[in-house]
Amino acid sequence: MKEVLKKNDERMQRRIDHLTDEFKSIRAGRANPAVLDKITVDYYGVPTPINQLSSIQVTEARTLVIQPYDATSLKSIEKAIQMSDVGINPQNDGKVLRLIFPPLTEDKRKEIAKDIARIAEDSKVQIRNVRRDTIEKLKKMKKSGELTEDDLEEGEKKVQKSTDKFIKQIDELTEKKKKEIMEI
């Protein structure tokens, strides 16, 4: 039973880690290198993340400067950013790319906050699905005689306690991200 409960917590933690990564890539009106994490550049036929091809620095609150290690990849990086869903056109001066993040309007902030809530709700559903799978596994173990009725009941309580803990974590992450988005 301990192994089943351990796997349950690991699966739920992976969902929290994934949610955290998703929240990092949401643009908050401030320059954040994490918005480029999902963008890959075709570098000599190999899809390569931008952060492996260049140094990325936040020079001002709303400006990212991307300086490629290989100057010949500048155009490829620029094209990859334009094709992505970042929504910002890079400024190319021949040596570096600058991404200037415009301040978010109130409507855009509210729209992003709704997206954050939707992503968080999806995560909660996935956590609950993990709970359901784990409880089904415990019930099968009881049916096959590996667990007693008391062990099953204790296991279900532990799974629920774990579920509550991870859902609370999702709520905290969501509130923190919404607060960050709504700041001016």
Which range has the worst mean pLDDT, 3-17, 45-59, 122-136, 159-173? 45-59
Residue 92: phi and psi, rounded to 5, are: -105, 120
Task: Count the neighbouring beta carbons within 10 Å of the beta carbon of residue 184.
Answer: 7
H or E segment and range at residue 98: strand 97-100
Interval 170-179: pLDDT, tens: 999 999 999 9
Whether residue 4 has pLDDT greater than 80: yes
pLDDT at 157: 95
- Please state which CATH class domain 2-24+105-182 belongs to: mainly alpha
Q: In the 3-class helix/strand/coil scheme, how is 20-87 assigned residue by residue? A: HHHHHCCCCCCCCHHHHCCCEEEECCEEEEHHHHEEEEEEECCEEEEEECCHHHHHHHHHHHHHCCCC
pLDDT at 16: 95
Give the tokens for residue 25.
């890539």
Whether residue 132 has pLDDT greater than 80: yes
Strands 40-43 and 63-68: unpaired
Domain 33-100, classified CATH 3.30.70.20, yes or no: no
d(CA 88, CA 99) in angstroms, rounded, equals 7
* Buried b / exposed e along 91-109 (16+ C-beta atoms within 10 A): eeeeebbbbebeebeeeeb
Give the tokens for residue 2.
């301990």
Helix (H, G, I), strand (E, B) or coil at 1: coil
Whether residue 184 has pLDDT greater than 70: no
Quick one: which of 53, 57, 36 has its CA closest to 44? 53
pLDDT at 24: 81
Whether residue 183 has pLDDT greater than 80: no
Instruction: List every span in the chain annotated with CATH 1.10.132.20.
Output: 2-24+105-182
| Average confidence score pLDDT of the chain | 90
Instruction: List every span in the chain annotated with CATH 3.30.1360.40.
Output: 33-100
